[in-house]
Structure 1
Amino acid sequence: MSWADNLQDASFRGIPFEVRTTRDAVQRALVQYEFPYRDGAQIDDHGAGPRQMSVAAVIYGDNYLVRLERLLEALSAGGYGELVHPVFGVVSRAQVVDYEISHDAEHPDACEVQIRFVEGDQPVVFFARASTRQSAQAVSTSGQAARDVGLGAFGRTMSAVRGQLTALRDRVAVLGQLDAITRQVRGTVQGVLTAGMDALTYPTSWGSDIATVITGVTNAPSAALDRLRGSLSGWSLVRRALFPSDARSGALARPVISHSPLPALARTDVPATVQARLLALDHVERERAIALAEAAGALLELESDAGTLTPDDLATVAAQTREALQAAITSARAVLPLEDAYQVGEALRDLAAAVQAAAEAVIVARPPLIERTVPADGNLQLLAHWWYGDQARWEELARLNPSAAKQPILREGCRLNAYSK
């Protein structure tokens, strides 16, 4: 096999050009240690330098001047650009070093541009860390990505199951089951408009409707996010709304099938009617977990502005979110085909990692939580003034010490949880 078999169309920043020759070079950074009365030298290899690429680009044709101007604009722009090397393929961080244009009297409608590139590496950032707000907002981005991956997997697999329902009786039975799931999920929230498509005929539209309804749970009542601030009561409210504890309040029961390491949609002993119901329930489970993760992101964003929850509370939020996402991953493995289950699982893992990173960022941004000894009899306002010079922080001490908040006077020698500064 020669390089001509895999030759690629060269371009820089999307501007294509022909190539006559290329020349690539890499120089290693070597340090030589020489010693008197000793032949040779000790070589210390400090690594390879950046790859240097010289390209002889050829522009020709009746409109060569227009093409040349476009290429020169791309070469003159500052910063990195994407170079498609004709032999080695994509170089994502190519920096133009210089270029030289040559015209020949024998070729009035052509020119040659000698371009030197150097390949850059990823930037090294010292002591940089995303803010707590940015970390919390990243949860929303990861949640939407997981939702898109899950919706695509649901649409593909439900369409495949629909092809197996050849009998009219089976189609009617599945439509009834899926309609019951829709009514039960919609019963958890009011005032949300949906397209009203059925899951069997329009699986993607149905999946979007379910996502809209479940997301509405975290917005009802309208003050839900405000209730997240200050205690875990708001978080518990949203969590109970998304994951009802019994069937009467909205929990969805799964059909019982025999245990097997194979996913349900890859087994021949599971009827298509059961597969369709399992697939719908899996989608509902996933959307609830994603909605819970987004609620956790909203809580952590509030905490990044004004911390009110203790590190243990934040750890509880992250742990409960990971638990819900793990259940969704397990459900996807049991139902979806292998490739779809892997893609969905990876997206949910990324979402869980985003929640974990956001919780850690909020916790680390705060001073360490320590135990302090009450120096003299007094109330929480007085202690806040003694320790921090700000009596308004007594509310913080009350949250960290619920039992002490109920006592009008704290005795000397008592030990309370408090931030170090």
Structure 2
Amino acid sequence: MAWSENLQRASFRGVRFEVLDVTDSIGRAHATYEYPFIDGGDLKDLGRKPRRYKFTAFFWGDDYDARLQRFTTALDEPGPGELVHPVYGSIPHALAIEYEIKHVADNVDSCVVDLTFLEDRTGTTLFNQQLPEQLGAAIFDRLDELVEQVASFFDAIMAPINMVKSLLKRGRAIANTLLNTLFIFKSDILTSIDDFEGFLKYPSQFVREFQRLLEMDTSKTGSSIPALRNNTTSITIANQPLRPVSPGMNTAAPTDITATPTTVIPVWNSILESMDAVVTLPADLINGDVPATIPVPAQSAPDDVVDVTVLYAVQSVGELANAATAILSDDIQTAVLSPDDIETIVDSVRERMQSTIDRIRHQYEPAQETISSDTTPIGLLWQPVVAQLKNVALDLQNLGLTVIAKRPPLTKKTVISDSCLRLLAHQWYGDHSRAVELQRLNPQLRNPNKVNAGDVINAYTR
């Protein structure tokens, strides 16, 4: 991101000032060892020196002297204070070590102030606030790791089922469930029974392929959201759809660079419904609620495929986290979403993650007591999966908070007289085009051209 899009208002101890330019000096302390009759010398690095920030501030206007007085009072106060750098953001401990005030005869009612600050703490870093794109990239990496952890975990679960004869009926129910799932999520790459059965011999390969199919399904469902339109390969849903399409929802791929909130939330709800249906799919196939291309063994029960249900729960919530991260990492898309919209997306994923963690613990925590006698380390492998889900949930929450924090604080304003959103935007912000923003923050308003006196409106403070 360019600083032109993330520029912050400079201030010191909460007193704002306009900046003409800023120069940052960063050096390292060192000791020099020189020797007679030998060219050059040896240096010993003694660490970085305190960063030095030099600002050229500008005050002008009829009240510039009053504002200058408030600013110099803040500068004269002893000890360090918070400096907000236009590019780097908050520097919590900075000491104003020098300032010069310059008045020029030709520049009436104005002055230039040259400022020098030194940071007052060790071990500080610049750019200490991560951007949404950086947080999103970290979440994507965690999700890739989650897929590999789940693949290893499913390998361990399937190993005894494939070897022990007493588990053949259960193994057949699981195998047919996996085959029927692949027939439902049918793609051009998976075209033959031989291809399908190859995944049964290598369960981890099934996990990776099924994750890819879920991504393709989300891409198709969310094609009207540019952030999700990252895979143009379409899949054919056989038998019957896993999700209902919201009335009036356009699933055709538009050419817009962003989607409106009235599009994002209904599409997001459809993605949730689709992933929820994936979790219940194994039991639905066993119970006959979803037609099975390959008949399941007679007298099979949902308990026979509980391991598959857990697998699908982890993979579906991983795909939801993937889709939510893609949306929230897109600055253009989040610019049109309200804090409530962002909260809705994040909370819906985190709630399902907690449900999935509870499901995993209920199913596999007892295996910890039999680790020494089990042939496969199921009692150990489930814990990294839960830990990774927790990490993703926390990272997704931080991503949502970061996106919301980039906005001005949200407040409520009372309308003084009958008006409309465009006039209110002009009165409050000096920009009538922000009427669209006010309408987005106030979905309860039926008519943006008729706002009554006394109405309480959600609005940004600036």
| TM superposition score normalised by structure 2 | 0.54
In the alignment, which of 292, 295, 300 is matched to residue 328 of structure 2? 300
The answer to whether the Cα contact below 8 Å between 2:154 and 2:203 also exists between their aligned partners in 1 is: yes
Tell me the distance in 1 between the aligned counterparts of 2:395 and 2:163: 38
Report whether the alignment pairs 1:281 with 2:325: no
Work out the CA distance in 2 between the residues paired with 1:319 and 1:312: 10
2:269 aligned residue (236, 242, 245): 236
One-letter identity of the residue aligned with 2:329: E
Deviation at 1:252, TM superposition (A): 3.9
Measured after TM superposition, the shift of residue 167 of structure 1 is 7.6
Query: What does the per-residue CA deviation read over 1:30-55, in whole Å, with 9 as the maximum and x for residues that have no partner?
Result: xxxxxxxxxxxxxxxxxxxxxxxxxx
Letter in 2 for 1:415: V
The Cα shift of 1:129 comes to 0.9
The alpha-carbon distance between structure 1 residues 387 and 362, as it changes in their structure 2 partners (threshold 3 A), is same
CA offset digits 1:378-401 (Å, max 9, x no partner): 221111111112211111111111
| Separation of aligned partners in 2, 1:299 and 1:414 | 32
Secondary structure, aligned partner of 2:382: helix
TM superposition shift of 1:289 = 0.4
- Please tell me the residue identity of whatever aligns with 2:381: D
Q: Is the contact made by 2:143 and 2:318 (CA closer than 8 Å) also made in structure 1?
A: yes
Aligned pair in 2 of structure 1 residues 401, 378: CA closer, same or farther (>3 Å)? same
Tell me the distance in 2 between the aligned counterparts of 1:215 and 1:278: 23
Residue 353 of structure 1: CA displacement? 0.9
In structure 1, distance between residues paired with 2:310 and 2:46: 46
Going from structure 1 to structure 2, the CA distance change for 1:150 and 1:385 (only over 3 Å counts) comes to same
Spell out, residue by residue over 1:151-172, the C-alpha distance to the aligned partner (whole angstroms, 9 max, x if none).
Answer: 1111222123212236866654
Distance in 1 between residues matched to 2:353 and 2:267, nearest whole Å: 20
Residue 381 (str. 1) matches residue 422 (str. 2): yes
1:246–1:153 Cα change, 3 Å: closer
Q: Is the 8 A contact 2:215 2:319 kept in 1?
A: yes
How many angstroms apart in 2 are the aligned matches of 1:323 and 1:406? Answer: 34
Q: Which runs of 5+ in 1 are unaligned?
A: 1-75, 81-121, 257-271
Within 2, Cα distance between the matches of 1:302 and 1:401?
Answer: 23
The residue matched to 2:329 in structure 1 has which SS?
A: helix
Structure 1 residues 248-294: Cα deviation after superposition (integer angstroms, max 9, x where no partner): xx5744989xxxxxxxxxxxxxxx99887222221111100000011
* Residues 101-250 of structure 1: pairs in structure 2 closer than 5 A: 123-125=123-125, 128-165=128-165, 172-184=172-184, 186=185, 193=190, 196-221=196-221, 223-226=223-226, 229-231=260-262, 232-244=265-277, 250=281
- Hey, what's the Cα distance between the residues in 2 that align with 1:392 and 1:164? 69
CA distance in 2, matches of 1:233, 1:381: 26
Aligned residue in 2 for 1:324: 352
Indicate yes or no: 2:439 matched with 1:398: yes
Alignment size in residue pairs: 285
Query: Cα deviations across residues 176-218 of structure 1 (Å, max 9, x unaligned)?
Result: 343234334x17xx66758534554121111112111112221
- For residue 410 of structure 1, report the CA deviation from its aligned partner: 1.5
Amino acid at match of 1:129: Q
The 1:146/1:217 distance shift into structure 2, 3 A limit, reads same
Structure 1 window deviating more from structure 2 (230-239 vs 348-357): it is 230-239
- Looking at structure 2, the residues matched to 157 and 251 of structure 1 have their Cα atoms a distance apart, in angstroms, of 16
Q: In structure 2, what is the equivalent of residue 365 of structure 1?
A: 406
For residue 244 of structure 1, give the secondary structure of its aligned residue in structure 2: helix
Counterpart of 2:163, as a letter, is G
Distance of 1:368 and 1:182 partners within structure 2: 47
Residue matched to 2:458: 417
The secondary structure found in structure 1 opposite 2:330 is helix
Using a 3 Å threshold, how does the CA distance of structure 1 residues 366 and 214 change in structure 2: closer, same or farther?
same
Distance 1:384 1:405 in 2: 17
Matched-pair identity in %: 23
CA distance in 1, matches of 2:303, 2:164: 10
SS at match of 2:408: coil
Deviations 1:116-136 (Å, cap 9, x if unpaired)? xxxxxx953267110123223
Helix, strand or coil for the counterpart of 2:459? Answer: strand
Q: TM-score, normalised by structure 1?
A: 0.59
**Rg larger in structure:** 1
Distance in 1 (alpha carbons) for counterparts of 2:441 and 2:410: 9
Counterpart contact for 2:259–2:333, Cα < 8 Å: no
* CA distance in structure 1 between the partners assigned to 2:224 and 2:46 by the alignment: 46
Instruction: After TM superposition, list the pairs within 5 Å mapping 1:247-266 onto structure 2.
Output: 250=281, 252-253=283-284
